Amino acid sequence: MGTRPVLEAAQKRAARGNLRHDWERSEVEAIYRTALPELMYRAQTLHREYHAPDRVQTCQLISIKTGGCPEDCAYCPQSAHYQTDVERQGLLEPREVIDVARDAARRGVTRFCMGAAWRQAPEGREFENVLEMVRGVSATGMEVCCTLGMLTEQQALQLKEAGLTAYNHNLDTSPEFYGSIITTRVYEDRLKTLAAVRKAGITVCCGGILGMGERETDRIGLLHQLATLEPHPESVPINMLVRVEGTPLASVPPLDPLEMVRAIATARILMPASRVRLAAGRKQLSPEAVTLCFLAGANSIFVGEKLLTTPNPGPDEDEQLLHTLGMKPLESHAV
Ligand code: SAM
Ligand code: DTB
Ligand code: SF4
């Protein structure tokens, strides 16, 4: 290890001692409602203590199994409960996925996330194929993330063994609002899978969606849940709802982008060492709003033309934006 990584690791260790997991909901509320200039100043100050302010992690998504999901998540175009334009696609072949990953690594992407429209990860041949994908992606040197729905402890261990570094499993919103969005599972199911992931030694990627018609208190409730997980999720995706025709949330009023900014700044203050990802919804945000999200402490984005099934800004647009802002992708360690 050179001097810089050693220093960084030491800083991280020292910083970790200061992390709080006992946030009161009222404290989260007070932070969220701080006057914007003060909120941004506090978020930016912490951001600089823990992260390089000009760096952003680039992650690429691939949908390895698309549509036909038995869950009824009101935001999701892949739920079998709703009539959307998403074309169903069975599990891709490991080779196909690994080829896409290698290409992403060559382009400097540092995290690769495989998403499947499952209620829970399957057993048997399909799961074996997912493990093969994880092994192949892991060999590129990128961080490897999966989001496959609920997992058993055994499956989490097998994924870890195959080289999985992160598992995405979102809490999505506050416990109070959850039942208005999803009826086919409960908050506790999510927390159980998150515990299995932790137990297996896989890092946690956990966040939520804003703009689903929730109240401000629900956004605060979500952030409170995330910040009281111990340890904090290493990665916190903040999605702005992509409103998709055919889903029950297709015509909810659009979210004020400043709510994204406030939520990101609050996440940065509550979980200063975590990566906060400005996830879905970038295509719907202006370059100015995206810039404010970066200033609030977002330091990770999804790149590539597509998220799972919906459009994302293309590589040219992203390159231009980062260039204009004088920001750079994290250095790639791909092999
Ligand atoms: N089925 C698995 C699950 O739900 O955990 C993995 C795939 S699921 C599509 C991954 C995440 O995508 C969801 O938890 C949700 O937060 C996010 N998501 C789905 N549809 C979205 C939309 N229309 N807008 C924003 N985020 C969305
Ligand atoms: C996350 O929080 N957002 C990503 C990833 N984790 C899996 C997914 C966003 C999906 C947006 C809707 C779609 O493209 O289908
Ligand atoms: Fe299924 Fe995940 Fe979509 Fe819910 S969010 S319907 S679990 S794919």
Hey, what are 309's tokens? 């099934």
Asked whether 171 lines ligand 1 (CB < 6 A), one says no
Ligand 3 atom closest to 69 (CA): 1
Cβ(291)–Cβ(72) below 8 Å:
no
Choose the residue to mutate in 64, 71, 73, 225 for probing ligand 1, maximizing ligand atoms within 8 Å of C-beta.
73
Q: Which ligand is nearest to the CA of 247?
A: 1
Task: Tell me what pLDDT residue 259 has.
Answer: 98
Q: Which ligand is nearest to the CA of 311?
A: 2
What's the rounded Cα separation, in Å, for the pair 80 and 69? 5
Asked whether 74 lines ligand 2 (CB < 6 A), one says no
pLDDT digits (tens, 9 = 90+) for 243-252: 999 999 999 9
- Cα 208 to middle of ligand 1, angstroms: 9
Task: Tell me what pLDDT residue 17 has.
Answer: 62
Task: Tell me what pLDDT residue 96 has.
Answer: 98
What's the rounded Cα separation, in Å, for the pair 102 and 62? 13
pTM: 0.95
Task: Tell me what pLDDT residue 244 has.
Answer: 98
Q: Residue whose CA is closest, atom 4 of ligand 3?
A: 73
Residues marked as catalytic: 69, 73, 76, 113, 145, 205, 277
- Cα 280 to middle of ligand 3, angstroms: 14
Asked whether 145 lines ligand 1 (CB < 6 A), one says no
Query: What value, to the nearest 5°, has the Cα angle with vertex 7 and ends 4 and 9?
Result: 105
Sign of CA dihedral 31, 288, 259, 328: negative
The domain locations on the chain are 3-329
pLDDT, block means (10 residues), the chain with 335 residues: 45 65 98 98 97 97 98 98 98 98 96 98 98 98 98 98 98 98 98 98 98 98 98 98 98 98 98 98 97 98 97 95 96 67
Asked whether 149 lines ligand 3 (CB < 6 A), one says yes
Three-class HEC string of 19-85: CCCCCCHHHHHHHHCCCHHHHHHHHHHHHHHHCCCCEEEEEEEEEEEECCECCCCCCCCCECCCCCC
pLDDT digits (tens, 9 = 90+) for 114-163: 999 999 999 999 999 999 999 999 999 999 999 999 999 999 999 999 99
**CA nearest neighbour of 208 among 124, 276, 306:** 276
Asked whether 240 lines ligand 3 (CB < 6 A), one says no
3-state SS class at 125? helix
Task: Tell me what pLDDT residue 331 has.
Answer: 81
Asked whether 172 lines ligand 3 (CB < 6 A), one says no
Q: What's the CATH fold of domain 3-329?
A: TIM Barrel (3.20.20)
DSSP structure class, residue 200? T
- Cα 277 to middle of ligand 2, angstroms: 11
- Cα 236 to middle of ligand 2, angstroms: 12
Ligand 2 atom closest to 209 (CA): 2
Ligand 3 atom closest to 71 (CA): 6
What's the rounded Cα separation, in Å, for the pair 133 and 268? 32
- Cα 302 to middle of ligand 3, angstroms: 19
Q: Which ligand is nearest to the CA of 279?
A: 2
Report helix angle 287-295 to 36-50, nearest 10: 60
Phi, psi of 74 (to 5 degrees): -65, -20
Q: Which ligand is nearest to the CA of 309?
A: 2
